[in-house]
Amino acid sequence: MSVGKKLNSAFILMIVLITITVVLNFISLNKIKGDMDEALNHRVEQIRTVDQIRLNIGMQGMYARAIVLDGKEESFDNFKQYNELLDTEIDYLESLVVSNAMQEYMEQVKKFRDDFNNGYLDMVDAYNRGDQILANGFINTKLHVASNGMFDVTNQIVSYQEQQLEVISTKAANSISFSQTVASIALAISIFIAVLVMLFIRKTITSPLKNIVKEANIIASGDLSQQDFVVKTTDEIGQLSKSFNLMKSNLANLIKNMQMNSEQVSAAAQELSASTEEITATTEDVTTRVSHTAERSQISAHASNESARAMEETAAGVQRIAEATQKLHGNSVDATQTARNGGQIIHDAQQQMKIISSSTNSVNDLVQKLAQQTEEINNISQIITAITDQTNLLALNAAIEAARAGEHGKGFAVVADEVRKLAEQSKNSANSIVNLTLEIKADTENVERAVSDSLISVNDGVNIITNAGQSFTSIVDAVTEMSMQIEEISATSEQLSASAEQVTASVNEIANGSNESSSHLEMIAAAVEEQTATMQQVNAVAATLSDNAQNLQQEIQQFKV
């Protein structure tokens, strides 16, 4: 069960318990209220009515005696008033009666009331006949007996109602006692359940969380050697504990791997540093030896060059070697023909460049014309956009007028809506044309600039080819003159070529070999120096790597796994 479900279950249990307590108290209060309503609306009201009846009985008996004594009209009126009040109270009391005992009492009251009324009529009749003694006799007999009977019955009613009030009071006291008992039991159960809920939450939520916090503090201090703590629940706390244990295990494995790797890196860095030191020492030795060898090779090359120069001075006439001059003569003839062919090609290229220049000018004119037409299309598109905006406004006004026209304008409203849609479509199309025209205009401007640049380049090319044609003409003349001079010196160079050829060739081979050896040794020396510098850098990197590995080991050793 999840933590949320546990808390919800605890709160639901408390709410159910409180609801049951409130319902029971509400039932008890309703019962008490019913008893109190019965006591006030029925019992107490009946007692009050009985008191009024007894008052009216006494008052009508008193005014009955007053009638016999003074015979005043006022006494008759007062008697009649209290007699009517007595009948009214008796009827009202009868309307409040619900029990059989009260109905029996009411029958007796009405019987004594009728007896009193009959005795009163006999008394009045005797008084009217002037027999006052008989009238007093009726007062002392019938009226007195009826009044006493009503008093006795009303006393019994009061006693009965007082007994009922005591019963109601006992019920109310029992209901109150029951409510207090229920409230006390509910309070005790609520406290008990609240304690259980607190203990349950503390056991299943608070304690595991405290343990997780404690373990987190231990891990924060760098100690990963603690055993995994076990939470048997499958809620969020249990899932958190599993994830926490997995995190601790992964972190411990990571630290172990880092420790092993850092040790390996440190050892490898130390080995690398030692190896680079040895290689550096060896490389420096090789560099020294190569430098000495290069110096000696340079001395030999210098001596060979001096010998070659001496042979060149000795064989000054070798420059007019027959074979060389003959080849030179043939080459000059070929150069003359090539120069002539080149002049013709330059002439053809010049004509072709003029044609390209003319075509480029035509293209430039067409591009400018296209730019003007694009500008006109843009203006027309703007006019179409303005027309569509005006048409849309007119369609809106037409729709408003159609709405004002009511039923008669529905058809016109449909037409106005279609016109508005057509105007919007036209506006969208015009906007598309404007956007396309702007793109074409931008591309046309780019093309125009490119054509202008090409036109300038073509003009430059025409000028360059023209100058090249002139140069080729000069070359043809110079080569022709040189060919004639070569023919003149060809005969004198044949005699010296045979004797100087062998010596010069040998000395040149020696000089070339010495130069190549010196160049190779210089390259080797430079490469060794570069290797030495590289190994020094590698040595510095290895030292830095070793320091970093040691620092990493010191940092990792702070953790306990």
Q: Are 549 and 290 within 8 A, CB to CB?
A: no
Q: Quick one: which of 166, 157, 149, 146 has its CA closest to 96? A: 157
pLDDT computed for residue 542 by the predictor: 66
Q: Angle, to 10 degrees, between the axis of helix 322-405 and the axis of helix 410-556?
A: 130
Q: Angle, to 10 degrees, between the axis of helix 73-96 and the axis of helix 45-70?
A: 160
Indicate the residue type of 542. Answer: A
Mean pLDDT estimate for the chain: 76
Of residues 29 and 134, the one with the higher pLDDT is 134
Residue-wise pLDDT tens digits, 478-499 = 667 766 766 775 666 666 556 5
Strand partners, 560: 223
Give SS3 for 234.
coil
Categorize the per-residue pLDDT at 289 as very low, low, confident or very high, splitting at 50, 70 and 90: low
Q: Is 0.85 surpassed by the pTM of this model?
A: no
pLDDT computed for residue 386 by the predictor: 80
Residue-wise pLDDT tens digits, 49-87 = 999 999 999 999 999 899 988 888 999 999 999 999 999
Give SS3 for 72.
coil
Q: Quick one: which of 278, 257, 260 has its CA closest to 268? A: 260
Distance CA 376, CA 363 (A): 20
Enumerate residues 6+ apart whose C-beta is below 8 A from 272. 538, 542, 545
The mean pLDDT value for 111-135 works out to 91
Q: Quick one: which of 324, 333, 342 has its CA closest to 483? A: 333
The CATH number of the structural domain formed by 295-556 is 1.10.287.950
Categorize the per-residue pLDDT at 477 as very low, low, confident or very high, splitting at 50, 70 and 90: confident
The mean pLDDT value for 543-551 works out to 74
Q: Quick one: which of 259, 278, 201 has its CA closest to 233? A: 201
Categorize the per-residue pLDDT at 261 as very low, low, confident or very high, splitting at 50, 70 and 90: confident
pLDDT computed for residue 220 by the predictor: 75
The mean-pLDDT minimum among 34-38, 212-216, 443-447, 501-505 falls in 34-38
Hey, CA dihedral for 259, 265, 269, 270, is it positive or negative?
positive
Q: Is the pLDDT of residue 375 over 70?
A: yes
The CATH number of the structural domain formed by 3-212 is 1.20.1440.210
> For the chain, which residues make up each domain, given as ranges?
3-212, 295-556
